[in-house]
Structure 1
Protein backbone atom coordinates (compact mmCIF):
# COMPACT_ATOMS: atom_id res chain seq x y z
CA UNK A 1 0.00 0.00 0.00
CA UNK A 2 1.26 3.48 -0.89
CA UNK A 3 0.66 5.30 2.37
CA UNK A 4 0.09 9.04 2.23
CA UNK A 5 1.95 9.78 5.48
CA UNK A 6 5.26 8.12 6.29
CA UNK A 7 7.97 8.36 8.93
CA UNK A 8 11.66 7.85 8.15
CA UNK A 9 14.91 8.27 10.08
CA UNK A 10 18.06 10.17 9.24
CA UNK A 11 19.80 10.94 5.95
CA UNK A 12 19.11 7.51 4.45
CA UNK A 13 15.40 7.87 5.13
CA UNK A 14 15.54 11.36 3.66
CA UNK A 15 17.06 10.00 0.48
CA UNK A 16 14.28 7.42 0.21
CA UNK A 17 11.64 10.14 0.59
CA UNK A 18 13.45 12.27 -1.98
CA UNK A 19 13.47 9.41 -4.47
CA UNK A 20 9.71 9.03 -4.01
CA UNK A 21 9.22 12.76 -4.63
CA UNK A 22 7.44 13.23 -1.31
CA UNK A 23 6.86 16.46 0.55
CA UNK A 24 9.46 16.25 3.33
CA UNK A 25 9.37 17.69 6.85
CA UNK A 26 12.78 17.73 8.56
CA UNK A 27 12.59 17.35 12.36
CA UNK A 28 15.72 17.93 14.45
CA UNK A 29 14.53 19.36 17.76
CA UNK A 30 17.92 19.77 19.49
CA UNK A 31 18.49 21.85 17.68
CA UNK A 32 18.77 22.46 13.90
CA UNK A 33 15.01 22.64 13.28
CA UNK A 34 14.31 24.70 16.40
CA UNK A 35 17.10 27.12 15.46
CA UNK A 36 15.95 27.48 11.84
CA UNK A 37 12.36 28.06 12.96
CA UNK A 38 13.49 30.70 15.45
CA UNK A 39 15.79 32.39 12.92
CA UNK A 40 13.07 32.51 10.25
CA UNK A 41 10.59 33.78 12.86
CA UNK A 42 12.98 36.72 13.18
CA UNK A 43 13.12 36.96 9.35
CA UNK A 44 16.68 35.75 8.96
CA UNK A 45 17.61 33.74 5.84
CA UNK A 46 19.25 30.39 6.50
CA UNK A 47 21.47 28.44 4.09
CA UNK A 48 21.73 24.85 5.39
CA UNK A 49 25.10 23.27 4.65
CA UNK A 50 26.16 19.64 5.17
CA UNK A 51 28.98 18.83 7.61
CA UNK A 52 31.80 19.26 8.28
CA UNK A 53 32.08 22.92 9.18
CA UNK A 54 35.37 23.58 7.40
CA UNK A 55 37.06 26.03 5.05
CA UNK A 56 34.78 24.95 2.23
CA UNK A 57 31.73 25.87 4.32
CA UNK A 58 33.29 29.23 5.14
CA UNK A 59 34.00 29.85 1.46
CA UNK A 60 30.40 28.99 0.63
CA UNK A 61 29.22 31.53 3.22
CA UNK A 62 31.32 34.20 1.51
CA UNK A 63 29.63 33.49 -1.83
CA UNK A 64 26.25 34.07 -0.18
CA UNK A 65 27.33 37.17 1.74
CA UNK A 66 26.41 35.18 4.84
CA UNK A 67 27.66 34.78 8.36
CA UNK A 68 28.55 31.37 9.76
CA UNK A 69 26.42 29.77 12.46
CA UNK A 70 28.96 28.05 14.69
CA UNK A 71 28.63 25.05 16.93
CA UNK A 72 28.21 26.07 20.54
CA UNK A 73 31.87 25.51 21.42
CA UNK A 74 33.12 27.31 18.31
CA UNK A 75 30.81 30.28 18.97
CA UNK A 76 32.52 30.85 22.30
CA UNK A 77 35.82 31.25 20.42
CA UNK A 78 34.63 32.93 17.24
CA UNK A 79 31.73 35.02 18.52
CA UNK A 80 28.53 35.41 16.54
CA UNK A 81 25.62 33.04 16.28
CA UNK A 82 25.57 29.40 17.32
CA UNK A 83 23.29 26.39 16.85
CA UNK A 84 21.46 27.60 19.95
CA UNK A 85 18.07 29.00 18.89
CA UNK A 86 18.44 31.56 21.65
CA UNK A 87 21.31 33.17 19.75
CA UNK A 88 18.81 34.59 17.21
CA UNK A 89 16.64 37.64 17.77
CA UNK A 90 15.02 40.70 16.28
CA UNK A 91 18.34 42.07 15.04
CA UNK A 92 18.69 39.25 12.51
CA UNK A 93 16.04 40.43 10.08
CA UNK A 94 17.14 40.07 6.43
CA UNK A 95 20.60 38.78 7.43
CA UNK A 96 22.03 35.68 5.75
CA UNK A 97 23.46 32.76 7.71
CA UNK A 98 25.06 29.45 6.75
CA UNK A 99 24.08 26.73 9.21
CA UNK A 100 26.02 23.48 9.28
CA UNK A 101 24.96 20.60 11.53
CA UNK A 102 25.61 16.87 11.78
CA UNK A 103 21.96 15.87 11.52
CA UNK A 104 19.38 18.44 10.43
CA UNK A 105 21.54 20.22 7.85
CA UNK A 106 22.78 16.87 6.53
CA UNK A 107 19.23 15.58 6.10
CA UNK A 108 18.13 18.83 4.48
CA UNK A 109 20.93 18.62 1.93
CA UNK A 110 20.01 14.98 1.21
CA UNK A 111 16.53 16.11 0.13
CA UNK A 112 17.46 19.38 -1.54
CA UNK A 113 16.12 18.29 -4.95
CA UNK A 114 12.56 17.53 -3.86
CA UNK A 115 9.66 19.87 -4.70
CA UNK A 116 8.81 20.84 -1.12
CA UNK A 117 10.98 20.64 2.00
CA UNK A 118 9.70 22.12 5.26
CA UNK A 119 11.39 22.47 8.64
CA UNK A 120 9.41 21.35 11.67
CA UNK A 121 9.80 20.88 15.41
CA UNK A 122 7.71 21.25 18.53
CA UNK A 123 7.85 25.04 18.25
CA UNK A 124 5.79 25.02 15.03
CA UNK A 125 4.24 21.53 14.98
CA UNK A 126 0.67 22.60 14.18
CA UNK A 127 1.75 25.22 11.65
CA UNK A 128 4.04 22.89 9.71
CA UNK A 129 1.33 20.19 9.61
CA UNK A 130 -1.19 22.68 8.18
CA UNK A 131 1.34 23.96 5.67
CA UNK A 132 2.24 20.44 4.51
CA UNK A 133 -1.44 19.61 4.10
CA UNK A 134 -1.92 22.62 1.85
CA UNK A 135 1.02 21.53 -0.30
CA UNK A 136 -0.57 18.08 -0.62
CA UNK A 137 -3.66 19.71 -2.09
CA UNK A 138 -1.56 21.78 -4.50
CA UNK A 139 0.94 19.13 -5.58
CA UNK A 140 -0.90 15.84 -5.01
CA UNK A 141 2.15 14.35 -3.24
CA UNK A 142 2.58 12.19 -0.16
CA UNK A 143 4.32 13.42 3.00
CA UNK A 144 7.35 11.94 4.74
CA UNK A 145 8.32 13.24 8.18
CA UNK A 146 12.03 12.77 8.90
CA UNK A 147 13.15 12.22 12.49
CA UNK A 148 16.81 13.15 12.09
CA UNK A 149 18.16 11.54 15.26
CA UNK A 150 21.74 11.80 16.45
CA UNK A 151 24.99 10.02 15.60
CA UNK A 152 27.17 7.83 17.76
CA UNK A 153 30.60 9.48 17.84
CA UNK A 154 32.39 6.19 18.53
CA UNK A 155 30.65 3.78 16.13
CA UNK A 156 33.00 1.01 15.03
CA UNK A 157 33.48 -0.03 11.43
CA UNK A 158 30.37 -1.66 9.95
CA UNK A 159 28.22 -0.32 12.79
CA UNK A 160 25.24 1.89 12.02
CA UNK A 161 26.04 5.27 13.62
CA UNK A 162 22.42 6.52 13.78
CA UNK A 163 21.24 7.06 17.35
CA UNK A 164 17.45 7.56 17.36
CA UNK A 165 16.37 10.52 19.47
CA UNK A 166 13.05 10.54 21.29
CA UNK A 167 12.89 14.34 21.01
CA UNK A 168 12.70 14.06 17.22
CA UNK A 169 10.36 11.07 17.39
CA UNK A 170 7.88 12.82 19.68
CA UNK A 171 7.97 16.05 17.65
CA UNK A 172 7.43 14.01 14.49
CA UNK A 173 4.48 12.39 16.23
CA UNK A 174 3.06 15.79 17.15
CA UNK A 175 3.14 16.72 13.46
CA UNK A 176 1.90 13.37 12.12
CA UNK A 177 -1.02 13.33 14.54
CA UNK A 178 -2.38 16.42 12.76
CA UNK A 179 -1.90 15.19 9.19
CA UNK A 180 -4.83 13.81 7.22
CA UNK A 181 -4.38 10.69 5.11
CA UNK A 182 -3.46 7.04 5.37
CA UNK A 183 -0.52 6.53 7.73
CA UNK A 184 2.16 3.90 7.47
CA UNK A 185 2.52 1.63 10.52
CA UNK A 186 5.67 3.55 11.47
CA UNK A 187 3.84 6.88 11.24
CA UNK A 188 0.84 5.56 13.15
CA UNK A 189 2.98 4.28 16.01
CA UNK A 190 4.93 7.55 16.08
CA UNK A 191 1.71 9.56 16.39
CA UNK A 192 0.57 7.18 19.11
CA UNK A 193 3.81 7.71 21.03
CA UNK A 194 3.17 11.43 21.01
CA UNK A 195 -0.46 11.08 22.10
CA UNK A 196 0.61 8.82 24.97
CA UNK A 197 3.44 11.13 26.04
CA UNK A 198 2.16 14.64 25.33
CA UNK A 199 1.21 15.38 28.93
CA UNK A 200 4.80 14.76 30.05
CA UNK A 201 6.72 15.57 26.88
CA UNK A 202 8.95 18.25 28.40
CA UNK A 203 10.09 15.95 31.21
CA UNK A 204 10.78 13.07 28.82
CA UNK A 205 12.79 15.21 26.44
CA UNK A 206 14.75 16.93 29.21
CA UNK A 207 15.85 13.49 30.46
CA UNK A 208 16.67 12.16 26.98
CA UNK A 209 20.27 11.42 26.01
CA UNK A 210 20.45 14.38 23.62
CA UNK A 211 19.10 16.84 26.17
CA UNK A 212 21.34 15.55 28.94
CA UNK A 213 24.37 16.23 26.75
CA UNK A 214 23.26 19.84 26.28
CA UNK A 215 22.36 20.32 29.92
CA UNK A 216 25.72 18.99 31.07
CA UNK A 217 27.35 21.69 28.90
CA UNK A 218 25.24 24.39 30.51
CA UNK A 219 22.60 24.68 27.77
CA UNK A 220 19.53 23.81 29.82
CA UNK A 221 17.81 26.99 28.62
CA UNK A 222 17.98 25.66 25.05
CA UNK A 223 16.29 22.43 26.06
CA UNK A 224 13.48 24.23 27.89
CA UNK A 225 12.96 26.54 24.92
CA UNK A 226 12.88 23.73 22.33
CA UNK A 227 10.25 21.80 24.31
CA UNK A 228 7.60 24.48 23.81
CA UNK A 229 4.67 23.32 21.68
CA UNK A 230 3.25 25.62 18.99
CA UNK A 231 5.10 28.74 20.09
CA UNK A 232 5.31 29.97 16.50
CA UNK A 233 3.18 29.85 13.35
CA UNK A 234 6.17 30.29 11.03
CA UNK A 235 7.08 27.44 8.65
CA UNK A 236 10.55 27.54 7.07
CA UNK A 237 10.75 26.13 3.55
CA UNK A 238 13.79 25.39 1.42
CA UNK A 239 13.88 27.51 -1.73
CA UNK A 240 16.76 26.20 -3.83
CA UNK A 241 19.61 26.75 -1.34
CA UNK A 242 18.06 28.81 1.44
CA UNK A 243 15.26 28.60 4.02
CA UNK A 244 12.71 31.33 4.50
CA UNK A 245 9.02 31.41 5.37
CA UNK A 246 6.84 29.14 3.23
CA UNK A 247 4.51 30.79 0.77
CA UNK A 248 1.23 28.88 1.02
CA UNK A 249 -0.77 31.08 -1.31
Structure 2
Protein backbone atom coordinates (compact mmCIF):
# COMPACT_ATOMS: atom_id res chain seq x y z
CA UNK A 1 0.00 0.00 0.00
CA UNK A 2 1.22 3.49 -0.80
CA UNK A 3 2.81 5.14 2.20
CA UNK A 4 5.21 7.92 3.16
CA UNK A 5 5.23 6.63 6.74
CA UNK A 6 9.02 6.65 7.41
CA UNK A 7 9.15 10.45 7.11
CA UNK A 8 8.27 13.46 9.27
CA UNK A 9 7.25 15.73 6.37
CA UNK A 10 4.89 14.43 3.71
CA UNK A 11 2.94 15.57 0.68
CA UNK A 12 -0.57 14.28 -0.06
CA UNK A 13 -3.07 15.55 -2.65
CA UNK A 14 -6.67 16.63 -2.23
CA UNK A 15 -9.55 15.19 -0.25
CA UNK A 16 -8.12 11.69 -0.10
CA UNK A 17 -4.80 13.02 1.17
CA UNK A 18 -6.53 15.16 3.79
CA UNK A 19 -8.58 12.22 5.01
CA UNK A 20 -5.66 9.85 5.28
CA UNK A 21 -3.49 12.41 7.09
CA UNK A 22 -6.34 13.03 9.52
CA UNK A 23 -6.80 9.31 10.12
CA UNK A 24 -3.08 9.06 10.95
CA UNK A 25 -3.39 11.94 13.44
CA UNK A 26 -0.92 14.24 11.71
CA UNK A 27 -0.49 18.00 11.61
CA UNK A 28 -2.20 19.05 8.37
CA UNK A 29 -1.46 22.12 6.27
CA UNK A 30 -4.12 22.90 3.66
CA UNK A 31 -2.86 24.73 0.55
CA UNK A 32 -5.40 26.10 -1.92
CA UNK A 33 -3.69 29.17 -3.38
CA UNK A 34 -6.45 30.23 -5.82
CA UNK A 35 -8.22 31.00 -3.66
CA UNK A 36 -9.46 29.36 -0.43
CA UNK A 37 -6.19 29.46 1.53
CA UNK A 38 -5.38 33.01 0.44
CA UNK A 39 -8.92 34.13 1.29
CA UNK A 40 -8.74 32.62 4.77
CA UNK A 41 -5.44 34.41 5.40
CA UNK A 42 -6.93 37.72 4.19
CA UNK A 43 -10.17 37.27 6.13
CA UNK A 44 -8.52 36.30 9.41
CA UNK A 45 -6.03 39.16 8.99
CA UNK A 46 -9.00 41.51 8.71
CA UNK A 47 -10.49 40.09 11.92
CA UNK A 48 -13.28 38.03 10.35
CA UNK A 49 -14.24 34.62 11.72
CA UNK A 50 -14.50 31.91 9.05
CA UNK A 51 -16.14 28.48 9.33
CA UNK A 52 -15.21 26.08 6.49
CA UNK A 53 -17.97 23.85 5.20
CA UNK A 54 -18.35 21.43 2.27
CA UNK A 55 -20.53 22.68 -0.60
CA UNK A 56 -22.55 19.46 -0.89
CA UNK A 57 -24.16 20.05 2.52
CA UNK A 58 -26.64 22.77 3.48
CA UNK A 59 -24.26 25.64 4.24
CA UNK A 60 -27.05 28.21 4.62
CA UNK A 61 -28.74 26.13 7.29
CA UNK A 62 -25.43 25.59 9.07
CA UNK A 63 -24.66 29.32 8.95
CA UNK A 64 -28.05 30.12 10.45
CA UNK A 65 -27.48 27.61 13.26
CA UNK A 66 -24.24 29.28 14.38
CA UNK A 67 -25.23 32.90 13.83
CA UNK A 68 -23.01 33.38 10.77
CA UNK A 69 -23.48 34.71 7.27
CA UNK A 70 -23.26 32.32 4.35
CA UNK A 71 -20.78 33.48 1.73
CA UNK A 72 -22.41 33.42 -1.68
CA UNK A 73 -20.85 32.78 -5.07
CA UNK A 74 -18.45 35.43 -6.33
CA UNK A 75 -20.79 37.09 -8.81
CA UNK A 76 -23.87 37.17 -6.56
CA UNK A 77 -21.90 38.35 -3.52
CA UNK A 78 -20.16 41.07 -5.53
CA UNK A 79 -23.52 42.45 -6.68
CA UNK A 80 -24.65 42.69 -3.04
CA UNK A 81 -21.38 44.10 -1.77
CA UNK A 82 -20.62 41.01 0.35
CA UNK A 83 -17.19 39.41 0.80
CA UNK A 84 -16.61 36.32 -1.32
CA UNK A 85 -14.09 33.58 -2.00
CA UNK A 86 -12.02 36.43 -3.44
CA UNK A 87 -9.37 37.44 -0.86
CA UNK A 88 -9.37 41.10 -1.91
CA UNK A 89 -13.02 41.48 -0.81
CA UNK A 90 -12.14 41.26 2.90
CA UNK A 91 -11.21 44.35 4.88
CA UNK A 92 -11.55 45.93 8.34
CA UNK A 93 -15.30 46.37 7.82
CA UNK A 94 -15.64 42.63 8.36
CA UNK A 95 -13.92 42.53 11.76
CA UNK A 96 -15.70 40.17 14.19
CA UNK A 97 -18.20 39.14 11.51
CA UNK A 98 -18.86 35.40 11.27
CA UNK A 99 -18.99 33.71 7.86
CA UNK A 100 -19.46 30.21 6.52
CA UNK A 101 -17.25 29.66 3.47
CA UNK A 102 -17.69 26.68 1.19
CA UNK A 103 -15.49 25.55 -1.69
CA UNK A 104 -14.97 22.35 -3.63
CA UNK A 105 -11.33 22.07 -2.63
CA UNK A 106 -9.88 23.97 0.33
CA UNK A 107 -13.02 24.18 2.45
CA UNK A 108 -13.86 20.54 1.75
CA UNK A 109 -10.35 19.37 2.64
CA UNK A 110 -10.41 21.45 5.83
CA UNK A 111 -13.75 19.95 6.84
CA UNK A 112 -12.48 16.42 6.21
CA UNK A 113 -9.37 16.98 8.34
CA UNK A 114 -11.04 18.70 11.27
CA UNK A 115 -9.95 16.20 13.92
CA UNK A 116 -6.17 16.48 13.85
CA UNK A 117 -3.56 17.76 16.33
CA UNK A 118 -3.48 20.99 14.29
CA UNK A 119 -4.91 22.13 10.98
CA UNK A 120 -3.15 25.14 9.46
CA UNK A 121 -3.87 27.18 6.38
CA UNK A 122 -0.85 27.81 4.17
CA UNK A 123 -0.37 29.83 1.00
CA UNK A 124 2.28 31.89 -0.72
CA UNK A 125 1.16 34.80 1.45
CA UNK A 126 2.26 33.15 4.71
CA UNK A 127 4.51 30.27 3.62
CA UNK A 128 7.46 30.96 5.92
CA UNK A 129 5.29 31.71 8.94
CA UNK A 130 3.31 28.51 8.35
CA UNK A 131 6.50 26.46 8.26
CA UNK A 132 7.77 28.08 11.48
CA UNK A 133 4.52 27.31 13.30
CA UNK A 134 4.32 23.77 11.93
CA UNK A 135 7.88 23.08 13.10
CA UNK A 136 6.97 24.40 16.55
CA UNK A 137 3.83 22.28 16.79
CA UNK A 138 5.71 19.22 15.59
CA UNK A 139 8.25 19.63 18.37
CA UNK A 140 5.48 20.10 20.95
CA UNK A 141 3.23 17.23 19.85
CA UNK A 142 5.59 14.77 18.19
CA UNK A 143 3.14 14.49 15.29
CA UNK A 144 4.43 14.42 11.73
CA UNK A 145 3.41 17.04 9.17
CA UNK A 146 1.46 16.47 5.98
CA UNK A 147 1.09 19.31 3.50
CA UNK A 148 -2.02 18.94 1.34
CA UNK A 149 -2.17 20.83 -1.95
CA UNK A 150 -5.86 20.71 -2.77
CA UNK A 151 -5.78 21.01 -6.55
CA UNK A 152 -8.85 21.71 -8.67
CA UNK A 153 -11.79 19.64 -9.91
CA UNK A 154 -12.52 18.69 -13.49
CA UNK A 155 -15.96 20.02 -14.45
CA UNK A 156 -16.48 17.59 -17.31
CA UNK A 157 -14.95 14.35 -16.05
CA UNK A 158 -16.37 11.24 -17.66
CA UNK A 159 -17.69 8.28 -15.70
CA UNK A 160 -14.92 6.46 -13.80
CA UNK A 161 -12.45 9.33 -14.31
CA UNK A 162 -10.70 10.95 -11.38
CA UNK A 163 -12.11 14.41 -10.59
CA UNK A 164 -8.89 15.80 -9.08
CA UNK A 165 -6.90 18.12 -11.33
CA UNK A 166 -3.46 18.81 -9.82
CA UNK A 167 -2.59 22.50 -10.05
CA UNK A 168 0.87 24.06 -10.16
CA UNK A 169 -0.03 26.97 -7.87
CA UNK A 170 -0.97 24.59 -5.05
CA UNK A 171 2.05 22.39 -5.74
CA UNK A 172 4.42 25.37 -5.60
CA UNK A 173 2.63 26.77 -2.54
CA UNK A 174 3.09 23.43 -0.79
CA UNK A 175 6.73 23.45 -1.88
CA UNK A 176 7.28 26.91 -0.40
CA UNK A 177 6.22 25.55 2.99
CA UNK A 178 7.98 22.20 2.68
CA UNK A 179 11.26 23.92 1.80
CA UNK A 180 11.35 25.38 5.33
CA UNK A 181 10.13 22.44 7.38
CA UNK A 182 12.46 20.49 9.63
CA UNK A 183 12.60 16.73 9.89
CA UNK A 184 13.08 14.16 7.16
CA UNK A 185 11.09 14.81 4.01
CA UNK A 186 9.57 12.06 1.91
CA UNK A 187 10.75 11.92 -1.72
CA UNK A 188 7.37 13.38 -2.74
CA UNK A 189 7.84 16.30 -0.34
CA UNK A 190 11.48 16.76 -1.32
CA UNK A 191 10.67 16.99 -5.04
CA UNK A 192 7.85 19.44 -4.32
CA UNK A 193 10.20 21.69 -2.31
CA UNK A 194 12.70 21.49 -5.14
CA UNK A 195 10.06 22.58 -7.65
CA UNK A 196 9.39 25.67 -5.56
CA UNK A 197 13.07 26.53 -5.19
CA UNK A 198 13.67 26.27 -8.91
CA UNK A 199 10.60 28.42 -9.65
CA UNK A 200 10.81 30.99 -6.86
CA UNK A 201 12.15 33.80 -9.04
CA UNK A 202 9.23 33.37 -11.48
CA UNK A 203 6.33 32.59 -9.14
CA UNK A 204 4.12 35.51 -10.14
CA UNK A 205 4.65 34.85 -13.84
CA UNK A 206 4.00 31.12 -13.52
CA UNK A 207 0.82 31.51 -11.47
CA UNK A 208 -0.44 34.28 -13.76
CA UNK A 209 -0.10 32.04 -16.83
CA UNK A 210 -1.16 28.78 -15.16
CA UNK A 211 -4.46 27.15 -16.09
CA UNK A 212 -6.05 28.25 -12.81
CA UNK A 213 -4.64 31.76 -13.17
CA UNK A 214 -5.98 32.12 -16.69
CA UNK A 215 -9.37 30.80 -15.63
CA UNK A 216 -9.70 33.45 -12.92
CA UNK A 217 -8.40 36.21 -15.17
CA UNK A 218 -10.89 35.32 -17.90
CA UNK A 219 -13.66 35.65 -15.32
CA UNK A 220 -12.45 39.12 -14.36
CA UNK A 221 -10.49 38.30 -11.20
CA UNK A 222 -7.03 39.49 -12.19
CA UNK A 223 -6.59 41.17 -8.78
CA UNK A 224 -7.06 37.82 -7.05
CA UNK A 225 -4.28 36.24 -9.06
CA UNK A 226 -1.92 39.14 -8.32
CA UNK A 227 -2.74 39.14 -4.62
CA UNK A 228 -2.44 35.39 -4.13
CA UNK A 229 0.95 35.26 -5.88
CA UNK A 230 2.73 37.39 -3.27
CA UNK A 231 5.31 35.46 -1.27
CA UNK A 232 5.51 35.92 2.52
CA UNK A 233 3.31 38.98 2.67
CA UNK A 234 2.26 38.24 6.27
CA UNK A 235 3.24 36.21 9.32
CA UNK A 236 -0.38 35.40 10.19
CA UNK A 237 -1.21 31.67 10.20
CA UNK A 238 -4.86 30.63 10.51
CA UNK A 239 -5.47 27.54 12.65
CA UNK A 240 -8.75 25.68 13.01
CA UNK A 241 -10.27 25.74 16.51
CA UNK A 242 -13.80 24.56 17.29
CA UNK A 243 -14.79 24.64 13.65
CA UNK A 244 -13.53 28.16 12.93
CA UNK A 245 -10.26 29.68 11.77
CA UNK A 246 -8.44 31.95 14.20
CA UNK A 247 -4.97 33.47 14.35
CA UNK A 248 -2.58 31.18 16.21
CA UNK A 249 -1.33 32.79 19.44
2:194 maps to 192
Counterpart of 2:110 (choices 108, 123, 131) is 108
Comparing 75-84 with 23-32, greater Cα deviation is found at 75-84
Find the aligned partners of 1:72 and 1:214 in 2 and give their Cα distance.
11
Aligned residue number for residue 235 of structure 2: 233
Q: 1:82-97 to 2 correspondence within 5 Å?
A: 82-97=84-99
Which residue pairs with 1:23 in the alignment? 27
Quote the offset at 1:77 in angstroms.
Answer: 4.7
Residue 40 (structure 2) aligned to one of 36, 39, 44: 36
Equivalent residue for 2:134? 132
Shift of 1:94: 1.1
Post-superposition offset of 1:240: 2.1
Contact 2:117 2:143 in 1 (8 A): no
Query: Which structure 1 segments of 5+ residues have no match?
Result: none
CA distance in 2, matches of 1:134, 1:42: 25
CA displacement at 1:246 relative to structure 2: 1.3
User: Which residues of structure 2 form unaligned runs of 5+?
Assistant: none
Q: Which residue of 1 aligns with 2:16?
A: 12
CA–CA distance in structure 1, aligned partners of residues 136 and 78 of structure 2:
41
- 2:83 touches 2:90 (CA, 8 Å); kept in 1? yes
The residue correspondences of 1:76-225 to structure 2 (distance < 5 A) are 76-225=78-227
Q: Secondary structure at the residue paired with 2:10?
A: strand
Inter-partner Cα distance in structure 1 for 2:12 and 2:34: 18
- Matched position secondary structure for 2:39: helix
Per-residue displacement from partner, 1:6-61 (whole Å, max 9, x unpaired)?
00100001111111111000000000000000001111110000113x7x211111
- Tell me the CA shift for residue 214 of structure 1: 0.4
Question: CA offset at residue 78 of structure 1?
Answer: 4.6
Paired with 2:76 and 2:116, the residues of 1 have a C-alpha distance of: 32
What's the RMSD between the two structures over aligned residues? 1.1
Q: TM-score w.r.t. structure 2 length? A: 0.96
User: Quick check: 1:68–1:81 contact (8 Å CA) kept in 2?
Assistant: no
Runs of 4 or more off by more than 3 Å in structure 1?
A: 76-79
- Please give the per-residue CA displacement for 1:184-212, whole angstroms capped at 9, x wherever unaligned: 01000000000000000110111111110
Q: Aligned-pair distance for 1:71?
A: 2.1
In structure 2, how many angstroms separate the alpha carbons of the residues matched to 1:75 and 1:85? 13
